[in-house]
Structure 1
Amino acid sequence: MDPAGPYPPAAHQPLHRRRRRGRGERRLRRRLPRDGRAVAEVADAGSAEVDLAVAAARRAFDAGPWPRWSPAERGRALLRLADLVERDRSELAVTISLEMGKPITEAYDIELRAVVNTFRWYGQLADKLTDESPRTAGDALALVTREPAGVVAAVVPWNFPLTLASWKVAPALAAGCTVVLKPSELSPLSALRLARLATEAGLPPGVLNVVAGDGPTAGRALGLHPDVDVLAFTGSAAVGRQFLRYAADSNLKRVWLELGGKSPNIVLPDAPDLDRAAATAAWGIFFNQGEMCTAPSRLLVHRSIAERVTDAVVARAEALRIGDPLDPATELGAMVGEDHLARVLGHVAAGRSEGARLRTGGTRWGTAGSFLRPTVFDRVDPGMRLAREEIFGPVLAVLAFDTVEEAVRLANATEYGLAAAVWTADLSTAHRVSRALRAGTVWVNCYEEGDLSVPFGGVKQSGHGRDKSAHALDKYMDLKTTWIQL
């Protein structure tokens, strides 16, 4: 789209009116996952645009009103933004569905609901934070105050483009920081629209800036930038490592990482409802086309019930309605693009070559667009790529086990530690297994449940940052001690 059109390359600063271009006036062209047609063009930000956006955020933090507004004022601004997202919910849902292939019903009912709730939750929390006054000797007064950390760079992926953006932007803004948001080059349109809404909500100039560019250029420039104080990233482990290197090579900025997952979903014979467990397993891996870091991509089933549960999952997979993401009846949309589809098909080919049994799917669907049939493999060995590598697609690996101890050992046999689940009717087993699993979140007799009151993040190579809950604010605030001698 034209820079002066509805999607400027940045918000709150006149970057779309500047002729300076870091990449020779290059443009990002986004093609529709549903049919491959070009949908839009936006400015392809380079280091020069990143410099402008960071400079705007720096001025807004050092001299602007946002950090000096009362927490209640900042909270009211976030509540206004939540209301505007709710107002434009249909438009935003269509934008997300078009740019990354998510079914429109899921974009509207799930993603946009989460975005509205996130801005409202942190808007309401903004003035509820408290400082400390530890007890000291009688001739002194100690104060511990929470202060905004400064300029935050938020780098987010394409699979939940606005949900994951809001999980970082909302607490950073509530804390009093200013933000430079870099969406994936595959999903820039919804983030740019969010920036427009932030302007309408009354956020001062420079408080929220959006740069649309790729990782090796715009992302790298943010990682190395000396005026970025905090960088929050959701994405792959390989890129997370790069951001840690960038921080070491620049100003030692804090880097908070939420990375990949290979989440185990353990079903024990005493699960309270095996049919529900199977249905939830199918929903979890095929929701959002499997393009989800917490997707339960490893189904660990006790050998005595493995055939029954696997058959039920296969039946669910084959009953899913695949189709146009803009059709409200569609249950499985398109993969984000041809390149990603090719990578996922490479994992399918590896599963076949290594000896796993393909129960269903494994092939493209349709003659246009990047669609993949929901895929289930069983007889998967723990050493196979299917069991070890994050696929990020609608591909399920089923592994059988004989004992609870073996299930826990298989579950933890991964470099990742983002999420896990266990299905059992025994309260003691539920507690013991949950404690033994190395994961940031463990669900018992459910999957993907929770709300904004609980933190989200992982352990091991799934990263160490926490989104959601009041704990997310810790990433964007500094503790200052003031000692007053009386």
Structure 2
Amino acid sequence: MTTHQITAVERLMVIDGKDVGSAVDEWFERESPAHDVVVGRYPQARAADVDNAVRAARRAFDEGPWPRMSGAERAQLLYRVAELIRRDAEQLARTEVLESGKPISQARDEIEGSAGLWEYAATLARHSYGDAHNQLGEDVLALVVQEPVGVVGVITPWNFPLLIASQKLPFALAVGCTAVVKPSELTPGTTVHLTRLLLEAGIPEGVVNTVTGAGETGSALTSHPGIDLISFTGSTAVGRLVARTAGEQLKRVELELGGKNPQIVLPDADLDAALDAIVFGIYFNAGECCNSGSRVLVHRVIAEELQTAVVERSRQVPVGDPLDETTKVGAIVNQQQLDTIERYVGEGNADGAQLLLGGDRLSLPTGTGRFYQPTVFTGVTPEMSIAREEIFGPVLSLIAFDDLDDAIRIANSTMYGLSAGIWTRNIDAALTAARGIRAGTVWVNRWMDGYPELPFGGYGASGLGRELGRQALTAFTETKTIQLQVGPRTARWLPEEA
């Protein structure tokens, strides 16, 4: 793919069903991280634009039909969105490639996964239940109902733009919420496209509004008094700021943050299966993934065998132009992230870890883009920064352990608790690890598989709340108790007058 075949696309924001620019007519551009050419041009939203979007969402919630529709009516429209995502799949995938740098094959998988999330959320629109209590006494019937929380502010990151928006937005819509969405300024294209698909599907104007811009746009959304809930995915550092702002306003918040996810490999494991999952787990999306398997904890008796195999398999991973169908690892999203990867690799070397493979930038024949070699460290100890901190790049740390208790201790030695895995044929060992590791997801003899039906989220610094599954509705609903008197009220606080 040559750069002259890539053209820039100008996309406006969507507020109250209309395509709009920013109030001050400011714009920003997005360059392809793989090709060094401008691929998108977007309005830079300011506080006034965010205010217009929130007001539109507020009107749509307070006065519009969306929260008052039946679950079946909302479900039909959410199904239609899934159909439209599939219709435009190739266009959406190409936008993801050009803005994020991920390989085209992975972008297509992300688009299909996103459509599946809209379909699953549609089923939940018809299955948002409360409770009835009829054993409180003959004179009372009580109802517990779930009502939509109101206007949701959705802030999404750059690594899986459409997928993460689809982990939040359709679940909020399923129960009748309205929303303002702020995608990352690095990858806003598919989110803007999605918002237009919602209108095409028949979702009323103002129900979903999308604003584009950088950090100050997100801050304006987080602090806006018209927002009832903030749903944020991103770094733990920014998540803390979002939580602080929300806490000051007593505003509800849902956070999906970082991870430093371990895979534990025991001597009785199927090493070939584990090896494939290890390489996939660290290099998928160039390691720019909160679920990245960036720590492999390997039993000391097989450590040398496994590290040799990991290095050999890592050498075979094709890195290159993300528009090439054979590429498995594409470009690093921007220079700041590339600098972060290089800093951590430098710290690993300085701390005494042994660099077995990679550890440097990779130059393509085109001379364009920002790429990094698949990188493997061994001799890593749990206190090193490359073992404790999220790198968000294709850098793997191999850590030896002596027994399962030791492995669980190491797995729990970081501030994160998003996901973990164990490779073993021993069911007792698998269950011991699954119970002992403090993580929101534990995979046994598999890695990074996800299903709309299963909740996703983490412990500790990996976030608050859960996305996906029927549990996702909890974030977007308020619980209300209704008590009804049955028959005359006979219990009196004061006696009747004579």
Shift of 1:151: 0.1
Name the CA distance, whole Å, in 2 between partners of 1:124 and 1:418. Answer: 26
CA deviation vs aligned residue, 1:216-268 (integer Å, no higher than 9, x gap): x1111111111100101111111111111211333x11011111000111000
Match of 1:415 in 2: 415
Letter of the structure 1 residue corresponding to residue 284 of structure 2: F
Matches within 5 A, 1:23-422: 25-108=25-108, 110-135=109-134, 136-215=136-215, 217-250=216-249, 252-271=250-269, 273-366=270-363, 367-422=367-422
Q: Distance in 2 between matches of 1:78 and 1:412?
A: 39
**SS of aligned partner of 1:10:** strand
Distance 2:23 2:324 in 1: 41
The one-letter amino acid paired with 2:281 is G
How far has the Cα of 1:211 moved from its partner? 0.7
Q: Which residue of 1 aligns with 2:14?
A: 10
What letter matches 1:381 in structure 2? Answer: T
Identity, in percent, stands at 47
The CA distance in 2 between the partners of 1:140 and 1:471, in whole Å, is 29
Aligned to 2:490: none
Question: Deviation per CA, 1:304-360, whole angstroms, max 9, x where unpaired?
Answer: 111111111111211011111011111110011112111111111111111111111
Which of the pair has more CA radius of gyration?
A: 2
Aligned length: 474
Distance 1:471 1:258 in 2: 14
**In 2, distance between residues paired with 1:223 and 1:128?**
30
- Are the aligned partners of 1:457 and 1:464 in contact in 2 as well (CA < 8 Å)? yes
SS of alignment partner, residue 260 of structure 1: coil
Unmatched 5+ residue regions in structure 1?
none
Aligned counterparts of 1:130 and 1:418: Cα–Cα separation in 2: 28
Cα deviation 1:355-397 (Å, max 9, x = unaligned) = 1111111111113201001110000121111101100000000
1:234 corresponds to which letter in structure 2? T
8 Å CA contact 1:266–1:301 kept in 2: the answer is yes
Q: For residues 51 and 39 of structure 1, what CA distance do their matches in structure 2 show?
A: 28
Q: Deviations over 1:125-174 (max 9, x none)?
A: 21122221112211111111111000000111010000000000010000
- CA–CA distance in 1 between the matches of 2:244 and 2:432? 38
Q: 3-state DSSP class of the match of 1:289?
A: helix
Q: Secondary structure in 2 aligned to 1:262? A: coil
Kept in 2: contact 1:291–1:392 (CA 8 A)? yes
Q: Distance in 2 between matches of 1:379 and 1:461?
A: 26
- Contact 1:279/1:312 (8 A) holds in 2: no
Residue identity opposite 2:433 in structure 1 = V
CA deviation map 1:415-443 (0-9, x unaligned) = 00000001111111111111000100000
- Matches of 2:394 and 2:28, distance apart in 1: 27
Cα deviation, residue 15, structure 1: 5.6
The aligned amino acid for 2:180 is V
The answer to whether the Cα contact below 8 Å between 1:183 and 1:211 also exists between their aligned partners in 2 is: yes
Structure-2 separation of matches of 1:259 and 1:269:
32
**Residue number in structure 2 paired with 1:20:** 23
In structure 2, how many angstroms separate the alpha carbons of the residues matched to 1:235 and 1:350? Answer: 23
Letter in 2 for 1:287: F
* 1:11 CA drift (Å): 4.4
Give distance in 2, aligned partners of 1:206 and 1:393.
Answer: 38
Q: Give 1:238's aligned amino acid.
A: A
**Contact 2:380-2:397 at 8 Å conserved across structures:** yes
TM-score (norm 1): 0.96
Helix, strand or coil: the match of 1:382?
A: coil
Q: Which runs of 4+ in 1 moved over 6 A?
A: none
- The RMSD of aligned alpha carbons is 1.2
Instruction: Output the CA distance in 1 between the equivalents of 2:306 and 2:481.
Output: 56
Question: Matches of 1:106 and 1:20 in 2, distance apart?
Answer: 36
2:494 matched residue in structure 1: none
Which stretches in structure 2 are left out of the alignment for 5+ residues? Answer: 1-8, 487-498
Deviation readout 1:86-109 (Å, 9 max, x if unpaired): 00000000000110001001100x
